[in-house]
């Protein structure tokens, strides 16, 4: 079995944040990783937004999130790691949310959510603030997107 360097780096980062499967038993917020790390070498369409009926594929999310991250008013784009069970069978960790640190308006963030086929954006951290993440500065807020 070929193991990608990107997958190994991702798993090391996840475990360095103290992830235990399933972490919700320990009442710890899931770890978050930079989107570019989550998508490096990733070809697993089951890793994000699996609830979409007509799933656009992992490349769609990689591209759209990279475009958002490149916006001048975006400071960080993170992916939460909700479950590691897929890794047992060679898959990618499962992400349930994407988090965006930005000074953009709520309307702009909601437009990104629509573009990503999300159910919408919410402010803050749905499972609690993770151990490691960038801190918001004046005018910035953390937003999360999910696909339920």
Question: Between the ranges 63-67, 130-134, 144-148, where is the mean pLDDT highest?
Answer: 63-67
Place of tokens 């500065």: 137
Report pLDDT for 57: 96
Candidates 11, 3, 145, 6; CA nearest to 78 is 145
According to DSSP, residue 51 is labeled T
Report pLDDT for 23: 52
Residue 89 — pLDDT band, cuts 50, 70, 90? confident
Q: Are 42 and 76 in contact (CB under 8 A)?
A: no
Q: Are 109 and 143 in contact (CB under 8 A)?
A: yes
Residue 35 has pLDDT above 80, yes or no: yes
The predicted model scores a pTM of 0.91
Percent of all residues in the chain with a pLDDT value above 70, rounded to a whole number:
93
Residue 87 — pLDDT band, cuts 50, 70, 90? confident
């Amino acid at each position: 079995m070929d193991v990608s360097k990107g997958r190994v780096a991702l798993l090391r980062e996840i475990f360095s944040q103290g992830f235990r499967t399933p972490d919700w038993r320990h009442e710890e917020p899931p770890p978050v990783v930079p989107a570019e790390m989550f998508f490096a070498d990733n070809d697993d369409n089951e890793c994000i937004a699996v609830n979409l009926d007509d799933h656009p594929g992992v490349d769609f999310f990689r591209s759209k999130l990279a475009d958002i991250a490149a916006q001048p008013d975006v400071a960080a784009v993170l992916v939460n790691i909700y479950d590691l069970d897929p890794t047992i069978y060679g898959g990618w960790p499962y992400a349930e949310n994407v988090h965006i640190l930005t000074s953009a308006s709520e309307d702009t963030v909601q437009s990104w959510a629509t573009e990503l086929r999300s159910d919408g954006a919410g402010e803050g951290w749905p499972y609690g603030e993770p151990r490691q993440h960038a801190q918001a500065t004046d005018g910035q807020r953390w937003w999360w997107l999910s696909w339920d």
